[in-house]
């Protein structure tokens, strides 16, 4: 399964999505900072599962409809930063979709995630990540889960990785930095957290109109993931 995660920078990079999906053969597309009122039902053969509704800049998840069937969708509001309370850019910061693999007869969960901006503390972002991962477990108890997105966590990632492992998940970084806009804040912002998947590779794709570079996650359901059986 090939999953692309992309922060569109206030929807500016939306025009790139069709070519991006076609070029890299994406099966799932997880987006952040989208204008949810301007998202099509189909992008290069991928069907819109859902977009958040309470955000000025929201989340969206697309899936390949000839391969998967969407069973259930859940969006989640997370603990707010001061930035969120004052400017109100995002109410819902996680959007999870439970998918059924038509050929394999197995179920799993994919999610798009957007943590609070750098004006917030890392402790707040860790709280948001922990809450989001717990919500995915409720969406499908025991199912493999993959959450990708903009974690806004460029430093002290080792500590974050340890906290994620304590919840039974693994943190996977891309092969090169994913944010380049400001000199002192460049680094890895866009990650994948997973359980029940073997992550073969996380690759940073070429930069487009966004200040974030998209990432391509190549993942496979783990052979011993009995938790993924339908």
Domains of the chain, earliest start first: 2-221 (3.60.10.10)
> In terms of pTM, does the model score above 0.75?
yes
Predicted local confidence at residue 2, as pLDDT: 98
Predicted local confidence at residue 86, as pLDDT: 46
Mean per-residue pLDDT over the chain, rounded: 89
Q: How far is 184 from 103, CA to CA, in rounded Å?
A: 46
Burial (0-12, 13-18, 19+ Cβ within 10 Å), 207: middle
Average pLDDT over residues 161-189: 85
* Dihedral pair phi/psi, residue 65, rounded to 5°: -75, -15
* Dihedral pair phi/psi, residue 83, rounded to 5°: -55, -45
Predicted local confidence at residue 207, as pLDDT: 94
Instruction: Give the residue from 47, 35, 159, 156 showing the smallest Cα distance to 97.
Output: 47
Predicted local confidence at residue 184, as pLDDT: 56
Q: Which of 33-37, 55-59, 214-218 has the lowest mean pLDDT?
A: 55-59
Q: Is the pLDDT of residue 179 over 60?
A: yes
Q: Is the pLDDT of residue 80 over 60?
A: yes
Q: Is the pLDDT of residue 79 over 90?
A: no
- State the pLDDT confidence band at 230, using cuts at 50, 70 and 90: very low
Q: Are 60 and 39 in contact (CB under 8 A)?
A: yes
Q: Is the pLDDT of residue 33 over 70?
A: yes
Q: How far is 143 from 162, CA to CA, in rounded Å?
A: 21
Predicted local confidence at residue 187, as pLDDT: 76
Predicted local confidence at residue 228, as pLDDT: 41
Q: Which of 43-52, 69-78, 160-169, 217-226 has the lowest mean pLDDT?
A: 217-226
Residues found in the chain:
230
Predicted local confidence at residue 226, as pLDDT: 46
185's CB contacts (< 8 A; 6+ apart) are 118, 154, 179
Q: Are 60 and 36 in contact (CB under 8 A)?
A: yes
157's CB contacts (< 8 A; 6+ apart) are 171, 173, 188
Predicted local confidence at residue 182, as pLDDT: 61
């Amino acid at each position: 399964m090939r999953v692309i995660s992309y922060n569109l920078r206030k929807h500016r990079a939306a025009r790139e999505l069709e070519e991006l999906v076609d070029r890299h053969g994406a099966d799932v597309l997880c987006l952040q900072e989208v204008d949810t009122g301007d998202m099509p039902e189909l992008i290069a053969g991928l069907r819109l599962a859902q977009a958040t509704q309470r955000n000025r800049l929201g989340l969206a998840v697309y899936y390949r409809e000839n391969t998967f069937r969407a069973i259930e969708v859940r969006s989640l509001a997370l603990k707010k930063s001061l930035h969120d309370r004052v400017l109100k850019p995002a109410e819902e910061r996680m959007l999870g979709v439970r998918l059924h693999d038509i050929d394999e007869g197995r179920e799993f969960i994919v999610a798009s995630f957007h943590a609070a901006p750098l004006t917030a503390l890392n402790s707040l972002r860790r709280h948001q990540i922990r809450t989001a991962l717990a919500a995915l477990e409720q969406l499908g108890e025991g199912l493999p889960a993959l959450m990708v997105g903009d974690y806004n966590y460029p430093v002290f990632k080792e500590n974050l990785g340890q906290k994620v492992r304590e919840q039974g998940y693994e943190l996977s970084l891309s092969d090169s930095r994913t944010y380049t806009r400001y000199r002192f804040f460049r680094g890895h912002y866009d990650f994948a957290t997973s359980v029940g998947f073997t992550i073969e590779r996380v690759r940073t794709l070429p930069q487009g109109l966004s200040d974030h570079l998209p990432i391509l996650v190549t993942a496979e359901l783990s052979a011993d993931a009995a938790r993924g059986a339908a």
